[in-house]
C-alpha cells in the first residue's frame, strides 16, 4: 500500500515535467523491473503503445525522451500492481486513441474488425464456388 502511494506520488511529481527536454530521464525509462514476470508484462504493453513524437515506433523502440517517460510510467504502474489494460485505458483517456496501437471498437473503428470478418466470409464463398465446381470436368 505504501509502495502504491509512493508510486502515485512519484507519478504526480514526475508528470508535469515529462516530455520536456533537458530534464533528467524518468527513473524507469531505461531500467528494467526487478521481477522478470512484471518486466515481461510491462514490455508487452510498451510494444503496443505509440511513441507520440516519432513516426510509427512503439515506446519500446524509441530514443525520444517522451517515449522514455512513458516507459517509466508503464513500469512504475505495473510494479504497483496495476492491470496493463487499465494503464492503456488511462493513457488513452489522457492522450487519445492515437497512443494505442490496438484500436478500440468504437463507432468509428468497428469496420476495422468487421472487414476481416467479411473477408473471411468472402474467402469461404470464393473457395466454395471455385473448388466445388470442377472435378468432373
What cell numbers appear for 137 in the block? 470436368
What cell numbers appear for 126 in the block? 470464393
Which of the stretches 6-14, 15-23, 52-60, 76-84 binds another protein when contact is defined by CB under 8 A? 52-60
Which single residue is written with the C-alpha cell 513516426?
55
Distance CA 60, CA 63 (A): 9
Under rule CB under 8 A, residue 96 binds another protein: yes
What cell numbers appear for 95 in the block? 492522450
Under rule CB under 8 A, residue 133 binds another protein: yes
Distance CA 103, CA 118 (A): 18
Measured from the CB of residue 37, what is the shortest distance to another protein in angstroms? 10
Identify the residue among 9, 31, 86, 89 touching another protein (CB under 8 A).
31
Under rule CB under 8 A, residue 6 binds another protein: no
Measured from the CB of residue 100, what is the shortest distance to another protein in angstroms? 6
Under rule CB under 8 A, residue 101 binds another protein: yes
Residues 6+ apart with CB under 8 A from 101: 48, 49, 50, 58
Identify the residue among 23, 35, 61, 105 touching another protein (CB under 8 A).
61
Helices (H), 47-109: 65-79, 84-95
Question: Which chain residues interact with another protein by CB under 8 A?
Answer: 24-25, 30-32, 43, 47-48, 50, 55-58, 60-63, 96-103, 108-109, 111-112, 115-116, 119-120, 122-123, 126-127, 130-135, 137
Amino acid at each position: 500500500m505504501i509502495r502504491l502511494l509512493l508510486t502515485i506520488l512519484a507519478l504526480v511529481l514526475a508528470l508535469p515535467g515529462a516530455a520536456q527536454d533537458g530534464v533528467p530521464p524518468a527513473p524507469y525509462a531505461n531500467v528494467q523491473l526487478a521481477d522478470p514476470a512484471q518486466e515481461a508484462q510491462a514490455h508487452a504493453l510498451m510494444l503496443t503503445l505509440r511513441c507520440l513524437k516519432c513516426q510509427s515506433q512503439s515506446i519500446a523502440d524509441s530514443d525520444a525522451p517522451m517515449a522514455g517517460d512513458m516507459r517509466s510510467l508503464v513500469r512504475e504502474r505495473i510494479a504497483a500492481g496495476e492491470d496493463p489494460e487499465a494503464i492503456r485505458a488511462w493513457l488513452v483517456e489522457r492522450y487519445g486513441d492515437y497512443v494505442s496501437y490496438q484500436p478500440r471498437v468504437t463507432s468509428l473503428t468497428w469496420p476495422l474488425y468487421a472487414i476481416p470478418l467479411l473477408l473471411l466470409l468472402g474467402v469461404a464463398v470464393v473457395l466454395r464456388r471455385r473448388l466445388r465446381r470442377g472435378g468432373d470436368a
